[in-house]
Structure 1
Amino acid sequence: MNLTLWIVAGLLSAVLLVSTAKMFVPREKIAAVGHAGEWVLDFSPGALRAIGTLEILAAVGLIVPAVLDIAPVLVPVTAVCVALLFVGAAAMRLRRGETLTIVPDLIYLALAAFLAWGRFGPESFTG
């Protein structure tokens, strides 16, 4: 179970780091990729930088506290925050009527919830 939780944390961290591209790539370029990228046009560049910053912090918060053994309780707290981030992403997709592109967000939401449950419960770093 512990190994599974580490794999989930690593996968979510990688996904969050990849998704920070919105901070560096112009919105128009992302939107030109296809229907799945058009959502960026609904947000200002400042809002996209804020979302990207939260994603970088989340990617770090899922791994670093446990690896360094400094406040490892931050891992499940961060997992809850990541789950909330994907709730917001899914809500945005529903609002835009993007029912097909919501599936990855729901999968990441489930992974974050699983990680939070596992690290708060059976595989807690404190117990």
Structure 2
Amino acid sequence: MTLAYWIAASLLALFYFYAGTLKVIRSRDQLRPMMAWVDRVPLPALRALGTVEILGATGLILPPSTGIAPSPAPAAAIGFVLLQTGAIAVHLTGEDRQITLNVGLIATAAVTVWLATGL
């Protein structure tokens, strides 16, 4: 089960670290082609969301790899489930309504929560 956790957590961490970094460093104009919803969110909230994604990605990988405090890993995965639940709400209230990626991320994060409880 440990190998399965590392695969799922690594995929989530890579995705969220990349997406979070983009939200932190890029302008709205640069993000708009990838994220149609950026105009409906204040810029400080967008930057904060990116920061949360980066911290969550770190929480999936760093604590279990050091063995010092593995409990943040399931918390980070639960946070990603909640984050994507909110993302689905944002997509459904907007014009894009494309939630396939969000549903996949929720499923992966939920499996990661389950796997992280066995660490």
Please report the TM-score for the alignment, with normalisation by the length of structure 1: 0.87
Residue 84 of structure 2 contacts residue 102 of structure 2 at CA under 8 Å; is this kept in 1?
yes
What residue number does 2:58 align with? 60
Residue 28 of structure 1 contacts residue 41 of structure 1 at CA under 8 Å; is this kept in 2?
no
Instruction: Give deviations 1:22-75, integer Å, cap 9, x for gaps.
Output: 2111102221x2xx5220111111001110110011000000000011110111
Residues 60-69 or 37-46, more deviating: 37-46
The alignment covers a number of residue pairs equal to: 118
Runs of 5+ in structure 1 lacking a partner? none
Q: Which has the higher contact order (CA 8 A, sep 6+)?
A: 2
What residue number does 2:25 align with? 24
Q: Does 1:37 align with 2:50?
A: no
Distance (Å, rounded) in 1 between the aligned partners of 2:83 and 2:116: 18
SS of the equivalent of 2:35 reads helix
Taking only aligned residues, the RMSD between alpha carbons, in angstroms, comes to: 1.2
SS of the equivalent of 1:11 reads helix
What residue number does 1:112 align with? 109
| Aligned partner letter, 1:54 | V
Instruction: Give deviations 1:67-99, integer Å, cap 9, x for gaps.
Output: 011110111111101111111111111111433
What residue number does 1:94 align with? 92
Please report the TM-score for the alignment, with normalisation by the length of structure 2: 0.93
Runs of 5+ in structure 2 lacking a partner? none
**Would you identify which runs of 4 or more consecutive aligned residues in structure 1 move more than 3 Å?**
none
